[in-house]
Structure 1
């Protein structure tokens, strides 16, 4: 449990949350019975934002949580949710002395990983800072092409009814686009380690 800084009275504390959207706009919410100005942001009472279930991080696990809310013309709007302005938004949770909001303690920060809606209500899934360690970086080593048909890496303009199964043979035989193939067609498969030479067989790796 985090110790309260000197001067904070547990009997005068409330919760506050500050959401920083991807466009830089900040919105504040509090469970106090009146609005508070925290870190220069007006945190609205009854603004339709409350914490949901949380999962504490263990070791290098990112930890997850949720925030529950309702659409509000002065807060989280349907238009902004649809526009994706809350995707990746930063959420800071604080404990604040409601009699002097400049006295506060920061509890945690997270980012909104996903938002789901049901009618006028929404649920924001929160991921802690360590979730960044689970992001996949770089390319996947596979025999199949990892480009999308027709994108910049693929480099062709296919007909409307064209289809690609990501294989080297298709790229060369159907699209004559082997120079832009984004896979590793000669990579051995998982059964490569169990194979052995057989007399009379062609062992050049072409079937792996």
Structure 2
């Protein structure tokens, strides 16, 4: 049988937490490069557009929701956000790869009654980003990154959840400084929320307020990791972190309000 009649589409999807799954349009499971590709006839790609220019290569992938592979709850929780996807054609008889058709990361995801549609952005999509940064009064670096250079080794703490009320968690450990976790990050370890991350809106003592409600029910004793945050102001950078030399903002640059000023105003 010719390679054309034996060709099927396969997807290798790797989440940010390291979990990898394989899906194929064939009517039975395949094994390619040691990974099992589950039969998912409902998975269909849009037209694959590849260009030699600088236009961004994008593609949409649609499919049916499956609790065993990609479930609605996990999509809503963001477990698949930013996942790396590789689309290729394979020979269903031999399991050999025939042609690479696209690679990128999952962007926007839309849910419908009969399934989902995920946008796959290729590597050239990065060319659509701004070349230079805009000025801002606040710092444009993220706490602990290569531009900020604040060491986060001593600014991460593990704690247990002792109570939950909507977005507010009560922990068995207090914050290091007043509102020290505001703008930081909370990571869930174990339980239904295991592997998910959530932004922290504020903290007070042993209470932490998240920006969104946890995707799944939280049980007492759940283990979380808390990473300190920064309000990105020069005052906090200088006094709390002693890092004013690496501040990536322009707090003293006049803003557009200068145009509305007038003598004596």
Tell me whether the two structures share a fold, i.e. TM-score over 0.5.
Answer: yes
User: How far off its partner does 1:41 sit?
Assistant: 1.8
Paired position in structure 2 for 1:34 = 28
Paired position in structure 2 for 1:14 = 8
What TM-score comes out, normalization by structure 2 length? 0.51
Distance 1:84 1:48 in 2: 22
> Are 1:95 and 2:89 matched, yes or no?
yes
Distance 2:100 2:48 in 1: 17
Alpha-carbon contact 2:15-2:84 (below 8 Å) kept: yes
Question: Which of 46, 67, 72 is equivalent to 1:73?
Answer: 67
Question: Which of 91, 111, 116 is equivalent to 2:110?
Answer: 116
Gap regions ≥5 residues in structure 2: 141-182, 184-200, 203-229, 237-243
User: How far off its partner does 1:60 sit?
Assistant: 1.4
Alpha-carbon contact 2:106-2:120 (below 8 Å) kept: yes
Alpha-carbon contact 2:14-2:84 (below 8 Å) kept: yes
Q: Does the residue aligned with 1:23 lie in a helix, a strand or coil?
A: coil
User: How far off its partner does 1:121 sit?
Assistant: 1.6
User: How far off its partner does 1:145 sit?
Assistant: 4.5
Question: Which of 153, 175, 180 is equivalent to 2:232?
Answer: 153
Q: Deviations over 1:93-142 (max 9, x none)?
A: 11111110034322221111111212352110110111123334774225
Compared with structure 1, are the counterparts of its residues 66 and 155 closer, same or farther at alpha carbon in structure 2 (3 Å cutoff)?
A: same
Which structure: greater strand fraction?
2
Gap regions ≥5 residues in structure 1: 1-7, 158-178, 193-201
Compared with structure 1, are the counterparts of its residues 91 and 117 closer, same or farther at alpha carbon in structure 2 (3 Å cutoff)?
A: same
User: How far off its partner does 1:152 sit?
Assistant: 2.9
> Are 1:141 and 2:135 matched, yes or no?
yes
Paired position in structure 1 for 2:53 = 59
What TM-score comes out, normalization by structure 1 length? 0.64
RMSD of aligned Cα (Å):
3.8
> Are 1:127 and 2:127 matched, yes or no?
no
Distance 1:109 1:38 in 2: 17
Q: Which has the larger radius of gyration?
A: 1
Q: How many residues align?
A: 166
Alpha-carbon contact 2:88-2:97 (below 8 Å) kept: no
Q: Deviations over 1:38-72 (max 9, x none)?
A: 12222121364221345444511221111112221
Paired position in structure 1 for 2:197 = none
Distance 1:78 1:51 in 2: 19
Q: Does the residue aligned with 2:86 lie in a helix, a strand or coil?
A: strand
